Structures are given as C-alpha cells and as structure tokens.
Structure 1
C-alpha cells in the first residue's frame, strides 16, 4: 500500500507522513522541493498547477491524502488562495483518476460547517450562513464542491476531512492557528475575546486523515476536532502552561479589527506576513464549536485541548517566531517541556 501525500511539508502534511511511516506504509511525499520531504518518505516532484507532475507523483499509489493548501487570511493573497485551494484540488482529483488511484482524502476546514452567535455545537450538516466569510473560508466551501464533483465525474472516491483549529509543530511557517497562541504571548494587555473555537492537535488530525483514507465513506465529510473552548478558557490555558498572567479584559471585535489593521500596516512596511488580519478579526465573537462524533464512530479519538496547546507551545518556544525577550519571561509548565520534540543531531 502506497499513500501519496500532497502538502507533505506543511503542518498537517508532515504529521500525516509521520503517522503513515510509523504504521509501516510506503509513503510518497509530493513536494516542490524534494530535499524538504519528511523522514522515511519517497520524495517526488509535483506542483498543483502542473497536472502532469501530479500524475507522475501518484503513479503506483493506492490512495492520496491531499493536504496542500494556502491557509491565510491575507486579502492580498485571494487569487493565490483560490488557485491553490480550489483549482489545485480539481487537478489533484483528476490526476488521481489518470494515475489509477481510487481514493482521495481532501483536507478542507471546519469553517465550511459555519459558526453560531452563541455556544452551539455544530455537525457536518451545517453550512456557512450570514457570518463573516473571509476569502479562505469561501475557498474551502468551493474546494469541497469541486472535489466531490470532480470525483463523481472521473470515478474517484473522495472523502473530505474538516479539521478545526490545528495546533502544534513542526511547521515551516507560522500558520494562523499557531499564531493565536503567539499573539497572546506578545500581548502586554493579556486580552481575550468573546466567542470560542474548537482546538485539536496536529497529530490527532493526522491520525484522523489516515483513518479516513482507510475507512471513510466516499462522498462524506468528517469534522476532525478536539475540545470546544471559549476564547477566555483557551487564553487561560495558554497563560497557565506558559507561566504568564491573565487573561484580563475581554476585547470586542471592533477593537480586534483596529489592532489587526495596525498589524497589517506594519507588516506591509516590513514586507512580512501580518500576525493578525482584519478578515480574521471579523470572526471574533462567533462560536466555532463542533462535534466530531461522526469521525469518532470510525475510531477517531483526539486528546485534550490542554495537550494540544502544550505541544504547540513546545514548538513555539524552540522556533524563531517567539522573540527572545518574550521567551525569557516565560515559565513553562512541565507539560510543555515534556511535549518538546527532541531531534538528534550529528556530533
């Protein structure tokens, strides 16, 4: 059994490869830079916008786990988000058909299920309603539709995975989910927000993807989440594990949008990615709470939100994203230190 993984160098894709390798399966990492492929995988060059390269990379595969995507809330990247998340997915499913691969698991997002004004738990029957819809959210809705339609057209089984807020590492870039924790550590006011989200570890999401590749029902989508938390409880968990105070005041969406606008302005001047964006800030106050019972019926069993936060903090503490002056002011709990992934280096 050979599983082909796109986006194999991303946060979720790296963990998917790790789970597959540890299970003893043959893994092909479809990557743009073969030198960056995860340990234990066979690197093959592929680009989402070059269908022929995808067909070659999928040759001999028995299933594809499509994790490649642009996960960003930056307005300037709307065209890229559409091309990669929607058209890239269309190309992947078509290439799978041409390569004779019968099944594709597509990584979407829980945001396609929508959100609620109050603390209501949603399941896979939900859809986006009248809430704010950033370009990333909209692209994921179209991605799912394109994946199922293309699969039906070309005779490929398509199963959709809908992860919630995925925390952890390693990751080659600071994705918006891990940035949630970093923003709190950098915030001198230790503010929190109304509303809430569902938190899950990258490792649990990866195991969920492999489960769906094995026994997921074609044509279905599955929420891969962990615990539903208010923003206050999430920030309190970050504070406790990192050894910092707070959270204190609850900041309304209007204030968060103003802060995000300032972040975007500074990032534009520095030529870097903003730590927060107005598109993301507009979602504050909503409850992105979800049930993973459907996936649990197949055997999915995620860990606690606290463990997910500890793993993410362990990665952040060892990354370049956390400034030294902030790192030196932290007093991380033993849970964070024990979650740190130790990588042997040559002597």
Structure 2
C-alpha cells in the first residue's frame, strides 16, 4: 500500500514513516515548504523515500501531493502552548485537518488515520485510568487541548460527509527521537535536567516511546475501525516517578521537594515574561502549569486488541535522554554534569547517512520533533509540523554537528 504521511519530518511522522516501511508499505513524505531542505527525497531510517511539499492552506498542492496514494496518515499539526500561539494552533490543527481530508478525497485516497491527542480524553484529580469512552470536561484546558478536541470533531464529521473512513490515533506523552526541534514532550525531561532544585509535582502522566507510537499508527491504518478513537500510550507514572527515572538514568540526585501548583504557575509566568523580553520561546508556560496536580493516565487496551504494544516507562525515558544528551537544547554546563546510565547509551539507534547529502532526514537519523506533554510540565498530545509538516517545537537550532557523548564515571 502506498501511504502518504503529513508531518513526516516530525518525530511522530518520522516514526510512522519508518514503521510503514518496515511493514512493507511504500511511503510518500508530505512536508511543508522549507528552503533549507533540498531534493525530492527524505531519509527515513537511512532509507530514501519520495518527498513532496504542500502547505495545509494550499488545497491544490495537497491534492497533487496525495494523488496516487491509497492511504494517508495525517500527523502534521502545531504543538505549542501560550496565548501567542493560540490562534495558530486552532487554525492549523482543526481547519488544516479539514483541508487535508478534502484533498485526500479529491486525490482518491481510500483510508485515513488522523493523529490527535490523549488529552481529548480528559484528566482526573485522582489517580485513575481513563479510556476512549472519556472526554475532556470542565478541567483546565489550554487552547492546544481545545484544538485537538476540535480536530477530532472535524475529522469525523468531514470523513462522514465525504464518505472516507477516518480512524483517530490518540498518543499520550511521546518521548524519544529523533528530533531537530524541541517539542513540549521532551521538554518535560529537559526542564528537570535544568532545574537546580530537582523539584517534582503532584499528579502524573502516561509516557510512550515515539517508536511504539509509529508502529501503533500503522496498526490502526491496517486494522482500525473507521470512526473509532484509539489511545496509543505506554505506562502511567506519577510526576515523582518520572523525575526519579530521569535522575537515575542521568546520574543526578533527586527529586526532592514537591512544588505546589501555585508556585509552578508563578515560575511559568516568570519564564514567559523573560522569554518575551528576549524574543524567545519560553521553556514552560502558564497553560502547561495550569494542569499540575491532575492525572493524565490512560489505558491502551483497545489498541492492544489490534496488536499494539509499548515499552515500559524506564526504556521510554532512556530514549528521551539519549537524544537530549546530544541535543543543542541541553547547555554544556548541564551536559557535563550528566553521568548517563548504560541503558541511555543503548537506547539511541545509530543509522548511517552520507555526509553532506542534499536530502532531508526523518525516522532515525536526524529528524523532526513532535509529540506530547503537559503538566508544569504537562500532559499528552502530539505534534508534527505547522501548515504542512514537521513539528513546531520550542526552539529552532542552527545546523551543526552534535556534541560528544558525556562520559559516565565508574
């Protein structure tokens, strides 16, 4: 089956592309126009795949990009928090999905998987697991959350109106790599590495490895029931447990004190103020801090019935650290303080790629970001690209060689 993947340069889209190739499908990467990327191919796990560019606002270009494909996995979205991005998030995530589905029908695509987010199933004040039967209620809901609820409604309504089968994939907090732009999901781990107080929070989330999410999307494409929602998660953890895993795998002390929700909100407000003065993107926002103290715990039993499986939380956190350790988002002073566990070194797969190749990358070389996170750190979601593809993360970094791995002292 020939599958088009929007958001193919994002972390989730890249892993979907890779999983589709491993399952024996053909892949066409649909990316947003990028003057820095040249050539008509994209490297996915070291394997070149055809790539076409199309903006989510250009219906004709989208139709051309999708023509000849039998199926579509729509991962492209804006994954961001903060008032300054609220309008863009709503427009791209909901209306962009409508445009993609209309183009898919015009191009003759027969089946679609749309990536939304576990946050559409809501959260709880008590540590209880939620399922696809649950929905976002009256709890604190940043504009990003509302945009994913709207995206689901638009996807199902458009699919029914146009007669195209649509399956919804709801990833939880997606950690790992590869990524070239830091999204709020891996930023959860980064924030803890940069916190000298090693504070933790009340509440919790569900973490999942990006590789498992990629395989899960292919399972939904092949076996999912049209009109159904499927959570793609891993293990439920409290924030204290998550931060304990980070400390152990990174060779750091902590976590120590539990930060109250009010303090998390105040620190996020300060971070937004400083970032505004610097013209930068804050590492955390009041939107995210508003979710502190809640449990974003989910079951993926519905997807398990289709053959889906996920790694434990420890392996997932190790994968995130494996990429952050060589990321330019991690300052040198913080990198030099790490004493990485061997599990972290083993978690990053190295894929050979020609030096100076005029192609883009995705899957497992150097790829985009995207995925999920919230709480003062966050709760689940997805991400991969704005108005076309690729994740719109927290920072854009210069292209240069990554630093060497830090040494772990015995």
Q: What's the TM-score, normalizing by structure 1?
A: 0.98
CA distance in 1, matches of 2:43, 2:169: 21
Which stretch shows the higher mean deviation, 46-55 or 25-34? 25-34
Alpha-carbon displacement from aligned partner over 1:262-291 (angstroms, at most 9, x marks no partner):
111121122221100000000000000000
Q: Which ranges in structure 1 are unaligned for 5 or more consecutive residues?
A: none
CA distance in 1, matches of 2:155, 2:227: 9
Q: CA RMSD in A?
A: 1.2
Q: Does 1:278 align with 2:289?
A: no
Alpha-carbon displacement from aligned partner over 1:66-125 (angstroms, at most 9, x marks no partner):
000011112101111011100000011111111110111000000000000100100001
Question: For residue 395 of structure 2, what is the aligned residue in structure 1?
Answer: none
Q: Is the 8 A contact 1:17 1:41 kept in 2?
A: no
> CA offset at residue 128 of structure 1?
1.1
Q: Is the 8 A contact 1:21 1:41 kept in 2?
A: no
Distance 1:300 1:137, change over 3 A: same
Question: For residue 52 of structure 2, what is the aligned residue in structure 1?
Answer: 44
The aligned runs of 1:145-184 (5 Å cut-off) are: 145-184=153-192
CA distance in 2, matches of 1:141, 1:61: 27
Question: For residue 132 of structure 2, what is the aligned residue in structure 1?
Answer: 124
* 1:60 aligns with one of 45, 51, 68: 68
> CA offset at residue 172 of structure 1?
2.1
Q: Does 1:90 align with 2:77?
A: no
CA distance in 1, matches of 2:106, 2:52: 17
Question: For residue 77 of structure 2, what is the aligned residue in structure 1?
Answer: 69
* 1:251 aligns with one of 240, 259, 270: 259
Q: Which has the higher contact order (CA 8 A, sep 6+)?
A: 2
> CA offset at residue 23 of structure 1?
2.6
Q: Does 1:216 align with 2:224?
A: yes
The aligned runs of 1:181-330 (5 Å cut-off) are: 181-330=189-338
> CA offset at residue 346 of structure 1?
4.9
CA distance in 1, matches of 2:164, 2:189: 38
> CA offset at residue 19 of structure 1?
1.3
User: SS in structure 1 opposite 2:79?
Assistant: coil
Q: Structure 1 or 2: larger helix share?
A: 1
Question: For residue 27 of structure 1, what is the aligned residue in structure 2?
Answer: 27
Distance 1:345 1:150, change over 3 A: closer
Question: For residue 401 of structure 2, what is the aligned residue in structure 1?
Answer: none
Q: Which ranges in structure 2 are unaligned for 5 or more consecutive residues?
A: 356-410
